[in-house]
Homo-oligomer: A and B are copies of this chain.
Amino acid sequence: MAKIAIVMGSASDKPVAERAAGVLASFGLAAEVRVISAHRTPEEAAEFARSAESAYSAVIAIAGKAAHLGGVIASYTLLPVIAVPVKTDVMGGMDSLLSIVQMPKGIPVATVAIDGAENAALLAVSILAVSDDALRGKLKEYREKLRQETTKADEEVRKR
Protein backbone atom coordinates (compact mmCIF):
# COMPACT_ATOMS: atom_id res chain seq x y z
CA MET A 1 0.00 0.00 0.00
CA ALA A 2 1.10 3.55 -0.69
CA LYS A 3 3.03 5.16 2.14
CA ILE A 4 4.17 8.73 2.53
CA ALA A 5 7.32 9.88 4.33
CA ILE A 6 7.03 13.08 6.35
CA VAL A 7 10.52 14.37 7.09
CA MET A 8 11.21 17.40 9.25
CA GLY A 9 14.56 19.17 9.55
CA SER A 10 14.26 19.68 13.29
CA ALA A 11 12.19 18.21 16.11
CA SER A 12 10.79 21.70 16.67
CA ASP A 13 8.82 21.29 13.42
CA LYS A 14 6.78 18.44 14.96
CA PRO A 15 3.50 20.42 15.21
CA VAL A 16 3.71 21.14 11.48
CA ALA A 17 4.49 17.51 10.69
CA GLU A 18 1.58 16.30 12.79
CA ARG A 19 -0.88 18.41 10.85
CA ALA A 20 0.31 16.76 7.65
CA ALA A 21 0.17 13.32 9.24
CA GLY A 22 -3.36 13.98 10.50
CA VAL A 23 -4.64 14.75 7.02
CA LEU A 24 -2.99 11.65 5.56
CA ALA A 25 -4.49 9.49 8.31
CA SER A 26 -7.95 10.88 7.57
CA PHE A 27 -7.51 9.50 4.06
CA GLY A 28 -6.45 6.12 5.41
CA LEU A 29 -2.91 6.61 4.13
CA ALA A 30 0.09 5.30 6.02
CA ALA A 31 2.74 7.86 6.90
CA GLU A 32 6.13 7.61 8.52
CA VAL A 33 7.38 10.67 10.37
CA ARG A 34 11.11 11.26 10.55
CA VAL A 35 13.56 13.86 11.87
CA ILE A 36 16.43 14.17 9.40
CA SER A 37 18.54 17.28 8.97
CA ALA A 38 20.04 18.18 5.61
CA HIS A 39 22.87 19.89 7.49
CA ARG A 40 23.31 18.08 10.79
CA THR A 41 22.79 14.56 9.40
CA PRO A 42 23.65 14.83 5.70
CA GLU A 43 24.66 11.16 5.37
CA GLU A 44 21.36 10.07 6.87
CA ALA A 45 19.48 12.43 4.58
CA ALA A 46 21.25 11.03 1.53
CA GLU A 47 20.77 7.46 2.70
CA PHE A 48 17.10 8.07 3.42
CA ALA A 49 16.52 9.65 0.03
CA ARG A 50 18.47 7.04 -1.92
CA SER A 51 16.29 4.24 -0.56
CA ALA A 52 13.02 6.15 -0.35
CA GLU A 53 11.67 4.75 -3.62
CA SER A 54 11.48 1.24 -2.21
CA ALA A 55 9.46 2.30 0.83
CA TYR A 56 7.38 5.33 -0.08
CA SER A 57 5.30 6.82 -2.88
CA ALA A 58 6.08 10.44 -2.09
CA VAL A 59 8.03 12.52 0.41
CA ILE A 60 6.88 15.59 2.35
CA ALA A 61 9.83 17.71 3.59
CA ILE A 62 9.30 20.33 6.30
CA ALA A 63 12.06 22.85 6.99
CA GLY A 64 12.74 26.52 7.74
CA LYS A 65 15.34 29.26 7.26
CA ALA A 66 17.95 28.12 4.67
CA ALA A 67 15.62 25.19 4.04
CA HIS A 68 17.60 22.73 1.95
CA LEU A 69 15.89 19.53 3.13
CA GLY A 70 13.42 19.21 0.25
CA GLY A 71 16.08 19.98 -2.33
CA VAL A 72 18.60 17.57 -0.84
CA ILE A 73 16.05 14.75 -0.79
CA ALA A 74 14.89 15.57 -4.31
CA SER A 75 18.48 15.41 -5.54
CA TYR A 76 18.72 11.74 -4.45
CA THR A 77 15.28 10.36 -5.33
CA LEU A 78 12.93 10.19 -8.30
CA LEU A 79 9.87 10.35 -6.04
CA PRO A 80 7.73 13.50 -6.03
CA VAL A 81 9.03 15.69 -3.20
CA ILE A 82 6.60 18.15 -1.62
CA ALA A 83 8.07 20.81 0.65
CA VAL A 84 6.56 22.99 3.38
CA PRO A 85 8.48 26.22 4.12
CA VAL A 86 8.30 26.83 7.87
CA LYS A 87 7.42 30.30 9.14
CA THR A 88 10.37 32.32 10.48
CA ASP A 89 10.96 35.89 11.57
CA VAL A 90 12.52 36.92 8.23
CA MET A 91 9.55 38.43 6.39
CA GLY A 92 7.36 35.68 7.83
CA GLY A 93 9.23 32.82 6.26
CA MET A 94 10.40 34.33 3.00
CA ASP A 95 13.84 32.80 3.67
CA SER A 96 12.30 29.31 3.91
CA LEU A 97 10.06 29.86 0.89
CA LEU A 98 12.78 31.14 -1.45
CA SER A 99 15.26 28.45 -0.31
CA ILE A 100 12.72 25.83 -1.34
CA VAL A 101 10.80 27.11 -4.33
CA GLN A 102 13.70 28.50 -6.37
CA MET A 103 15.16 25.06 -7.20
CA PRO A 104 17.34 25.01 -10.34
CA LYS A 105 16.33 23.43 -13.63
CA GLY A 106 16.33 19.64 -13.44
CA ILE A 107 15.37 18.91 -9.85
CA PRO A 108 11.86 20.16 -8.98
CA VAL A 109 10.38 20.45 -5.50
CA ALA A 110 6.60 20.92 -5.23
CA THR A 111 6.23 23.86 -2.86
CA VAL A 112 3.13 24.71 -0.84
CA ALA A 113 2.27 27.73 1.33
CA ILE A 114 4.36 28.79 4.31
CA ASP A 115 3.35 26.44 7.18
CA GLY A 116 0.92 24.78 4.70
CA ALA A 117 1.25 21.26 6.14
CA GLU A 118 -2.33 20.21 5.38
CA ASN A 119 -1.98 21.21 1.74
CA ALA A 120 1.27 19.25 1.45
CA ALA A 121 -0.65 16.18 2.58
CA LEU A 122 -3.56 16.92 0.22
CA LEU A 123 -1.14 17.35 -2.66
CA ALA A 124 0.32 13.93 -1.83
CA VAL A 125 -3.22 12.55 -1.85
CA SER A 126 -3.97 14.05 -5.26
CA ILE A 127 -0.70 12.61 -6.59
CA LEU A 128 -1.54 9.12 -5.40
CA ALA A 129 -5.09 9.57 -6.67
CA VAL A 130 -3.78 9.85 -10.24
CA SER A 131 -3.69 6.05 -10.28
CA ASP A 132 -6.09 5.26 -7.42
CA ASP A 133 -9.77 5.89 -8.08
CA ALA A 134 -10.82 4.97 -4.55
CA LEU A 135 -8.52 7.63 -3.16
CA ARG A 136 -9.84 10.15 -5.66
CA GLY A 137 -13.29 9.33 -4.38
CA LYS A 138 -12.20 10.16 -0.86
CA LEU A 139 -10.66 13.39 -2.09
CA LYS A 140 -14.00 14.25 -3.68
CA GLU A 141 -15.71 13.67 -0.35
CA TYR A 142 -13.13 15.83 1.40
CA ARG A 143 -13.76 18.65 -1.05
CA GLU A 144 -17.51 18.26 -0.59
CA LYS A 145 -17.09 18.51 3.19
CA LEU A 146 -14.94 21.62 2.71
CA ARG A 147 -17.68 23.10 0.53
CA GLN A 148 -20.32 22.32 3.12
CA GLU A 149 -18.33 23.93 5.93
CA THR A 150 -18.09 27.14 3.95
CA THR A 151 -21.75 26.96 2.95
CA LYS A 152 -22.72 26.46 6.59
CA ALA A 153 -20.60 29.41 7.69
CA ASP A 154 -22.33 31.41 4.96
CA GLU A 155 -25.75 30.44 6.23
CA GLU A 156 -24.86 31.36 9.78
CA VAL A 157 -23.57 34.76 8.82
CA ARG A 158 -26.67 35.42 6.69
CA LYS A 159 -29.05 34.52 9.52
CA ARG A 160 -28.02 37.37 11.72
Contacts and interface: CB of A to CB of B under 8 A. Distances in A.
Interface of A: 9-11, 14, 17, 32-44, 46, 53, 57-58, 64-66, 68, 71-72, 74-76, 78-80, 82, 87-95, 97-114, 116, 118-120, 122-123, 126-131, 136, 139-140, 143, 146-147, 149-151, 153-154, 156-158, 160
Contacts of A126: 78-80, 108
A130 B66 contact: no
Nearest 3 interchain pairs by C-beta: A131-B131, A110-B110, A108-B119
Chain B CB within 10 A, most for which of A92, A99, A129: A99
Contacts of A97: 97, 101
A116 B38 CA distance: 18
Given A39-B103, A131-B131, A68 B72 contact: yes
A61 to B, nearest CB: 13
Contacts of A90: 91-94, 98, 102, 114
